[in-house]
Amino acid sequence: MSPLLMYQLVALMLLAIGLYGIVWRKSFVGMLISVELMLNGAGLSIVAASQLTEAGNSIGQIAALFIMGLAAAEATLVLAIIVVVARRFKSVETDAVSRLKG
């Protein structure tokens, strides 16, 4: 088994665990945690693909840095949305927040 394949399998497991969590979780915070797991899997996979093959090394790390920046922006926005939803619905359960009215 090549080293690249081992890293890719770990990244794939991170993606699958994140997908499982995003369906299984009932609250927005739990879903946010799952999304972070999936983004980490993506970063790990990209860095592994650039470090362990003949492709350019720096571009993989730059792409992973972009992923980290996007994750930070996404977490900020989701935090604000959770605050607004918790204030308006008094709950962050996805089942309670199923009313689509302005």
Partner 1 sequence: MMELLAKIAFAVYAILILGGGTIAVGAHSLVRALVGLICSLLGVAGMYMLMAAPFMAFMQILIYVGAVCVLIFFAIMLSQADAQGIESGTRRPGKAALSALTFIAPVFVIGFILVKFQPASISLPVEVPLITIGKGLLEDYPVAFELISVVLLAAMGGAVLLAFEKKGRKV
Please tell me whether residue 97 binds partner 1 under the rule CB under 8 A.
Answer: no
- Type of residue at 16: A
Which member of 92, 97, 99, 100 binds partner 1 (CB under 8 A)? 92
Please tell me whether residue 82 binds partner 1 under the rule CB under 8 A.
Answer: yes
Token pair 């709950």: residue:
91
CA distance 90 to 92: 7
Token pair 């650039």: residue:
50
Least gap, CB of 32 to partner 1 (angstroms): 6
Please tell me whether residue 75 binds partner 1 under the rule CB under 8 A.
Answer: yes
The rounded radius of gyration (Å) of the Cα atoms in the chain is 17
Q: What angle do CA 102, 28, 33 make, to 5 degrees?
A: 145
Extract the tokens encoding 71.
Answer: 């994750």
Least gap, CB of 47 to partner 1 (angstroms): 6
**Of residues 15-44, which lie at the interface with partner 1 (CB under 8 A)?**
15-30, 32-34, 36-37, 40, 43-44
**Of residues 41-60, which lie at the interface with partner 1 (CB under 8 A)?**
43-44, 47-49, 51-54, 57-59
